[in-house]
Structure 1
Amino acid sequence: MFDTIDFQTLRGIGLTQGLVAQMFNLQTEAGDRLMRVVEVQRDRLRLHDGVNERVAQVWPTLRLALQMQGEVLVVGDWVAARTGGDLGDSLWAAARVPPVNHLVRRDSSGQRQTLVSNVDTALLVMGAGQDFNLRRLDRYLALVRLAGVSPLVVLSKADLCTDPRARIDAVRRHTSDGVDVLALNGLDAASADALAPWLSEGQTLVLLGSSGAGKSTLTNRLTGAAQDTGGVRHGDEHGRHTTTARSLHRCASGACIIDTPGLRGLQLDADEAQLDEVFEDISSLAPLCRFRDCQHQDEPGCAVRSAVPAGRLLSYHKLQREARRHEMTVFDKHKLLSEWKTRGREAKAVSRGKRG
């Protein structure tokens, strides 16, 4: 535990009482300081103490401990920082404060990847124009709810949409669980006023969404940062990918914003039971179906199909299939692949037979 903690100063970069409670069993040394990770580079970190930023390295013992757990330091983590080592006054991240929460996905190889830690609210940014995609939104909502993080749907580029109110209504009908939704223009100063209730001192927010959705533009508006942004492509209003690394920025209100690159693919780190919990609107209706093992597809007397939007039900089925694949053993995957190949050969044989 640290000898002293300047709570008021550190609150300006997101320290909360919940995080303080996580520190009681932390192994520290005299002179260690509590600092937050605001950016991660290949072999360097940028740490903030509430007043200044400094470049640091990861203490070898901590690096090894994290590797054994299959983890790494990410933006939003809190660490015990100390000066010393072979380079004299160089700064080191020596211990990590156990995170209150973290957003985790699976990468293209199926490995778990932590995106950010210690977040209060996730701003799910989606263009109100042609980027509008409710099934993609389902995936992001599941990601943050699995972590116990509150979502706020932000429909960006509202100035390019002919009817933003209709888009808001569409999100509310689709999610049907009272999720907060805002439509705004990130270039407009009024966007900061609209988001003010979520930007109180000590709060940490993360911006998530596809490339070019307007996350960096919104970050610049809220924090006064000067990150590169790109215009939209003519014809389909698709934005250009500009952010390449996650980074934490401070707002004048005392809140912190973590900007993130667009995720090209978002596979969830969840099993079927966890998905049932985050799709509560579906799981709560399932007991009302006529059949106990109803799959909510074409069975008669299904209480879910009649109450849940078809697109959301499709999202649920697809994510459940992905979860089952993640839980399969290598043997199971080879067996399933063999079955698919056999069915493919049979289909081709039937097709050849029809052609004579």
Structure 2
Amino acid sequence: MASLRPTDARLYIGLMSGTSLDGIDGVLFDASRLAVTGHVHTPFLPALRDELLALNTPGDNELHRAALAANAVARGYADVVAQLLEATGTRREQVAAIGAHGQTVRHRPGGIDGYTTQLLNGALLAEQAGIDVVCDLRSRDVAAGGQGAPLVPAFHRACFGLAGQDVAVLNLGGIANVSLLFADGRTGGFDTGPANCLMDGWIARHRGLAFDADGAWAATGRVLPDLLAALLAEPFFALPPPRSTGRDLFHLGWLDARLTPGAAPADVQATLLELTARSAADALRAQMPAAATLIACGGGARNGRLMQRLGELLRGARVKSSAALGLPVDQVEAAAFAWLAQCFKEKRPGNLPAVTGAAGLRLLGCLYPA
């Protein structure tokens, strides 16, 4: 189903709200140049953030609460679209489509009953934005036996691939995922484990802060070897790709079950940062030992202590931020979902079966016409 409205087919909007729950990133994306020409970030209102976090675990009246949260996410997305259009002087008729991720509250792929749930009322977003909306971008891959994640490696290949070099792209959101851009043209990718979700939750519990700016609190603590070993013993870290994960597994309850009494909170924070760095570095060494470059993006790429540890653990690779290549760290995933909307509109597959494990290439998403 294609829109009958006139559009400038180069322009797409990408909307992303990730497992870090820090809010909504929206970009205006020029598909002809693979370039972001506008960016807006708005944080979630505290009540909505708390409700989205609560909906990650079973609770009372879930269907009603999830529907209301999906409406609230749609209204937040529509507000970001309006801000983007105004800031860039773009008319909605110029935008071919919005690629909207939604808010993941459950991610349980695998088997006949596998599923993934991203809360978003796509119909409401189309009504309020007045632009075609492509959303529910993960479910078709899961239906085809895949993990539904990560979906960004093909976009990373288009943006960051270098001829003759093994390049890795590490997205440090709530969960960390890596794209493997091999010198011979092969593309891989998988989730490596937690990135910010545990560190953010721990500092919120003990210091009332949303995140550990620059890893400063973690830097005051020391890594607890026994706790780190217990965390790394999680079977997920031994799974071969394809693999994906989320808050279904990595949450503060998972951490609490492995803590020993009396651990200093700053030491736990240092250990959680080390867990993120170590699990990502171990996975990269196992799957791409000859990586020449590691490009980091996502909010965790602003954590100076985390970036320092990745550099120390991956001495054979140059570790740098995607911002050094012209794409700021908080715009990469939103741009990827704009690109996936372009794939849908052009009837091109958006998944990579070698990455997700799906039975084959699939057209990803569903369309809510304006």
TM-score band (shorter)?
under 0.3
* Greater fraction helix: 2
Which protein is bigger by CA-based radius of gyration?
Answer: 1
Q: Which has the higher contact order (CA 8 A, sep 6+)?
A: 2
TM-score by structure 2 length? 0.25
Q: TM-score, length-normalised on structure 1?
A: 0.26
